[in-house]
């Protein structure tokens, strides 16, 4: 049995990798009813106001914008995909990421300095003995509020 793309290229089953990307650029999944190719609809992108984004904004508020040397981009996307509930579940894992990143980028001194320098409410909510945990908790909370508002 063969499956054909609208551009004319034909594929012979079994196709191992789905979604199938044709050389013309079209992407397909298998239409299980008719056993033909069905255009693949991309799953929605993770929400942009999720906990990962909130955490990044939080760090920016504290003057930390240099993320070189850590994988914050993919981590923050992962946190957005998890959403508020998922981040609560993976709380310890996220704190470990942050602790790891802090070692690499030398955040600790910066964060402590920022906390003492800022007089906004945020500073008072960060426990110097548990910076990572405080940040994750605030980020989740902000994401939750953002979701409720939208």
In the complex, which residues of this chain contact Zn ion (CB under 5 A)? 5, 7, 9, 22, 24, 26
Least distance from Zn ion to the Cβ atom of residue 32, Å: 20
36 class by beta-carbon count within 10 Å (0-12 exposed, 13-18 middle, 19+ buried): exposed
Q: Which residues pair with 12 in a beta bridge?
A: 2
User: Do β-strands 27-31 and 36-39 pair in parallel, antiparallel, or remain unpaired?
Assistant: antiparallel
34 class by beta-carbon count within 10 Å (0-12 exposed, 13-18 middle, 19+ buried): exposed
> Which lies closer to Zn ion via its Cβ, residue 5 or residue 77?
5
Least distance from Zn ion to the Cβ atom of residue 141, Å: 47
> Which lies closer to Zn ion via its Cβ, residue 20 or residue 77?
20
> Which lies closer to Zn ion via its Cβ, residue 11 or residue 67?
11
Least distance from Zn ion to the Cβ atom of residue 58, Å: 45
């Amino acid at each position: 049995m063969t499956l054909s793309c609208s551009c004319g290229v034909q594929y012979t089953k079994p196709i191992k990798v789905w979604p199938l990307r044709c050389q013309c650029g079209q992407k397909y999944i298998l239409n299980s009813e008719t056993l033909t190719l069905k255009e693949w609809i991309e799953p929605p992108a993770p929400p942009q106001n999720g906990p990962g984004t909130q955490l990044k904004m939080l760090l920016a508020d504290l003057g930390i914008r240099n993320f070189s040397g850590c994988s914050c981009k993919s981590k923050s996307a992962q946190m957005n995909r998890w959403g508020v509930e998922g981040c609560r579940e993976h709380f310890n894992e996220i704190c470990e990421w942050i602790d790891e990143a802090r070692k690499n980028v030398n955040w600790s001194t910066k964060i402590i300095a920022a906390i003492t320098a800022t007089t906004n409410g945020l500073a008072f909510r960060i426990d110097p003995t548990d910076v990572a945990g405080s940040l994750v908790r605030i980020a989740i909370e902000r994401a939750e509020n953002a979701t409720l508002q939208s």
